[in-house]
Chain A
Amino acid sequence: MSDKMQLVAINRRHFVLGAAGVAALATLPSLSFAESNGWEEAMKGLIGDATPAEGRVSLELPEIAENGNTVPFTVSVESAMTDNDYVKAVHIFSAGNPRPDMASFMFTPSNGVAEASSRMRLGKTQDVVAVAEMSNGDVFMASQTVKVTIGGCGG
């Protein structure tokens, strides 16, 4: 009888500790998720104080990336791409990687259309942001959330 009591007591202790552990684990990711990696500042460093408007930019990314080491993406911007009206640059930022800067693509009217593709690393589920600078100074942006199954920050 006393043996049985002890067993129950241990089980209860394990249960309490286990529950506390699960609770701690559950709060940690949300805490670090809310912390910005500074992509807004990185964006300001490239485009200045301009406020990006939504639209004209489209960012194609998988909704779910199984392998965060190589996530294909295509960014395109609606533009006539003439000598007087073209897309100067498109900057890509990550809102969840250790470093926010990902890539910048500098276009010229010789491209005909403003579109570029590459592959990125994503450490965890996060938003990816594309910001386009037009030749007349207008700034547009688009963002997309990507769910990452296996992070790409190897260690």
Chain B
Amino acid sequence: MAKVKPRVKVPKSATVGEIVTIKTLISHKMETGLRKDKKTGELIPQDIIHSFDAKFNGETVFSTTLHAGISANPYVAFPLKVTGAGELEFTWHADGDKTYSKKSKLKVA
């Protein structure tokens, strides 16, 4: 399948106490498992990103469970209350024990 590419948008800088929105997107077809192959008539097996979590300085701050009802290239946006500078780590878990991750720094002005 096409290369899976995670993308994250974190504000360039934030102030302590501010609530910022973290936007994430990963390119993934989110195959539902309900579609049939037009040529063979057989069901295409499910292949989705089934969960996602975000850690700030090693502590999980937000996580989700996703099902086949979520659109291809799943986009997830969530808030974070800034307590200080640090590192955000994002992990996506796909069917077949595949994981994708990305890190980004949060700077405090």
Binds A, one of B4-12, B63-71, B91-99: B63-71
Provide the bound-state CA to CA distance between A105 and B60, in Å: 13
Q: Is the CB of A103 within 8 A of B61?
A: no
B102 near A: Cβ within 8 Å? no
Q: Check if A112 sits within 8 Å of B62, measured CB to CB.
A: no
| Contact between A112 and B79, CB atoms less than 8 A apart | yes
Main secondary structure of the interface of B (DSSP, over half): strand
Does A140 make an interface contact (CB < 8 A)?
A: no
- Size band of the interface chain B makes with A: 20 to 34
Interface size on A, as a range, is: 20 to 34
Judged by a CB distance under 8 angstroms, whether A51 is at the interface is no
Residue numbers of A with Cβ under 8 A of B are 69-71, 81, 94, 97-99, 101-108, 110-113, 115-121, 152-155
The 6 closest A-B pairs by CB, nearest first: A112-B81, A112-B19, A102-B69, A119-B71, A70-B71, A117-B77
Interface residues of B, Cβ cutoff 8 Å to A = 19, 32, 34-36, 56, 59-72, 74-81, 83
